[in-house]
Structure 1
Amino acid sequence: MSCPRPIVCLAPIPASPALRHPRILLLGHHQPTLLRCLDGWPRRGGRATAFVARFIAEPSALAGLADDSFELAVIQAPRGADVAAVIGHVVRVARQGLITVAAA
């Protein structure tokens, strides 16, 4: 049996002057795990590019974020009852709607 394919592939964000330092939302309690999801990303022209990360521990804080305020969101697996609300908010605040779920 072959290895399962990842559900979400991290795609490069289009280069533009406004995205010189892409903003990334990291949602969850275990920050080292969330950062490991970004290992090797983003790369432009064969070299690493700096990004601005914002950590949020509680999903309830997503409601106060502006639409399209991040290029990418990395989230820890939300509790079953919160999945729909968390995913809805993450897609709203992440410009490209790219999501990686990191197991806790």
Structure 2
Amino acid sequence: MSCPRPLIRLSPFTSPLTRRNPRILLGGSHQPTLLRYLEGWPKRNGKPAAFLIEFIDHSESLSRFANDRFDLAVVQAPSADEAEDFIKHLTRVARQGLITRG
């Protein structure tokens, strides 16, 4: 079984982080797959860091999160009828994002 391929990258993963311990949102039903997208991210020049990860189910709304709450979001693709609203909230709550196939 192959890993889902990214559909949209909202900004490059190489952009600098603003926090020592980045906040990450993982959204979807298969959390181990979502965690694999974090392998090697970010390269930190040997500085210790801990990810602050929050998981949500793919059916949960992102509207409850504050602007720029997360440094990175990795989420499964929404359905076509939910995509516009979902992407609007995703770009609002996360500085960087990756949408994967579900």
Q: Normalised by the size of structure 1, how large is the TM-score?
A: 0.77
Q: Higher helix proportion, which one?
A: 1
The answer to whether structure 1 residue 51 and structure 2 residue 51 are counterparts is: yes
Cα distance change of structure 1 residues 58 and 103 upon mapping to structure 2, 3 Å threshold: closer
Following superposition, which runs of at least 4 residues in structure 1 exceed 6 angstroms of deviation? none
Larger radius of gyration: 1
**1:47 to partner: Cα distance:** 6.0
Corresponding position of 1:87: 87
Q: Normalised by the size of structure 2, how large is the TM-score?
A: 0.78
Q: Higher strand proportion, which one?
A: 2
Structure 1 gap segments, 5+ residues each: 1-5
Corresponding position of 1:3: none
Measured on the aligned residues, the alpha-carbon RMSD in Å equals: 2.1
How many pairs were matched up?
94
Task: Verify the 8 A CA contact 1:59 1:86 in the aligned structure 2.
Answer: no
Q: Which has the higher contact order (CA 8 A, sep 6+)?
A: 2
Corresponding position of 1:25: 25
Report the identity percentage: 43
Task: Verify the 8 A CA contact 1:12 1:43 in the aligned structure 2.
Answer: no
**1:48 to partner: Cα distance:** 6.4
Structure 2 gap segments, 5+ residues each: 1-6
**1:43 to partner: Cα distance:** 1.7
The answer to whether structure 1 residue 102 and structure 2 residue 100 are counterparts is: yes
SS at match of 1:81: coil
Matches of 1:59 and 1:10, distance apart in 2: 25
- What whole-Å deviation, never above 9, does each CA across 1:14-52 have from its counterpart, x for those lacking one? 3x5xx1100011111111111111111122114663211
